[in-house]
Amino acid sequence: MDQAATLRTMIKGESARIRRITDGYKGGSFSSGTRPKVIAVTSGKGGVGKTNVVGNLAIVCQRKGKRVVIFDADLGLANIDIIMGLNPKLNIEHVIKGEKDLSDIIVRGPEGVAIIPASSGVEELVHLTEGHKLNLLSEFDTLDKMFDMLLIDTGAGISSNVVYFNAAAQERIVVVTPEPTSITDAYALMKVMYYQHGVKNFFLLLNMVKDEKQAKSVFESLTNVAARFLAGVSIEYVGFIPWDSLLKKAVGKREPIVCSHPEASSSAHFRDLADCILKRTEDIVVDGNIKFFWKRLMSIGVEQS
């Protein structure tokens, strides 16, 4: 066999393997064994507090005995390693290229929370070459035994990257502030998720609000519009985080608020949020585990391209 023919055979083999891996996903359910929860934290508008929610929620869940890993799928300015006070040297790109194992790049943040650092490659995760996808999928196999919860910091908006991560996750926490553009952008995100990917369930978290009354009024205005124009979509209120000057200071010092100021009102609300999310996700029985999340992510990319 000449060199070109060998190469063609190899590529054919790889394609078949990828298809086998991604074939398991058919419109929303995999059969699964142990089931870590996969939750995306997302928003329509940027700067609404997603990364703070991911970091603090992860720490509180870890305190409650869950083994939590954060995947940083956002390259925003203040990404998760900044908020957690970390300076990772390696990132997901090294795994994609097959240069490192996942275990080499995972860093441990406050209270033992694990973090998979982002890279510029993260924007292209859903459009990887098949060989690179295989590298990732085989690496993510190992995570299912190591963790109980994967939290994804998705970045804001309706770019394909954000939408794919949200579609592949089991649950989505949409973070909204009372700002009108944050509300309309959250609605736009849910609309795209629903019409493009049939996603019907969203958790809504209000951030930077004055009090519960304001949080509930934003929630109601969003659910009213959704009831009229997105029939079938379920938006569940999972609480609020008050505007808190201590949280702003903590970010400046690169410390999660639940560590630096456990007495702060925002810290108390992060604890309530953790209770609520753990309770609401304890019964998830379909779409299990982290590896299936990646398979689904890859298969969404394949379907759309």
The footprint of ligand ATP (CB under 6 A) covers: 43, 46-52, 74, 76, 78, 156, 207-208, 241, 243-244, 247-248, 251, 266
Number of residues that bind Mg ion (CB under 5 A): 3
Measured from the CB of residue 74, what is the shortest distance to ligand ATP in angstroms?
A: 5
Least distance to Mg ion, CB of residue 45, Å:
11
Q: 63, 66, 76, 158: which one contacts Mg ion (CB under 5 A)?
A: 76
In the list Mg ion, ligand ATP, none, the entry touching 248 (Cβ below 5 to 8 angstroms by class) is ligand ATP
Based on CB atoms, which residue is closest to Mg ion, 74 or 130?
Answer: 74
User: How many angstroms from the chain centroid is the CA of residue 8?
Assistant: 36
Strands 114-116 and 171-176: unpaired
Alpha helix (H) residue ranges in 99-244: 102-105, 130-140, 143-146, 160-168, 180-197, 212-229
* Residue 52: contacted member of ligand ATP, Mg ion, none (CB under 5 to 8 Å, by partner type): ligand ATP
- Select the binding partner of residue 270 from ligand ATP, Mg ion, none (C-beta < 5 to 8 A, by kind): none
Q: Which does 47 bind (CB under 5 to 8 A by kind): ligand ATP, Mg ion, none?
A: ligand ATP
- Measured from the CB of residue 25, what is the shortest distance to Mg ion in angstroms? 28
Among 51, 62, 91, 119, binds Mg ion (CB under 5 A): 51
Q: Are 246 and 259 in contact (CB under 8 A)?
A: no
How are beta strands 114-116 and 234-242 bridged, if at all?
Answer: unpaired
- Does position 47 bind Mg ion by CB under 5 A? no
Residue 292 in tokens? 């299936």
- The least CB distance from residue 103 to ligand ATP, in Å, is 27
Would you say 50 and 41 are in contact if contact means Cβ atoms under 8 Å apart?
Answer: yes
- How far lies 119's CA from each of 12, 73, 93, 180, in Å? 29, 8, 6, 31
Contact partner at residue 43 from ligand ATP, Mg ion, none, CB < 5 to 8 Å by partner kind: ligand ATP
Segment interacting with Mg ion (CB under 5 A) among 7-15, 42-50, 271-279, 281-289: 42-50
3-state secondary structure 36-101: CEEEEEEECCCCCCHHHHHHHHHHHHHHCCCCEEEEECCCCCCCHHHHCCCCCCCCHHHHHCCCCC
Structure-block tokens of residue 229: 């124009």
Q: Which residues bind Mg ion (CB under 5 A)?
A: 50-51, 76
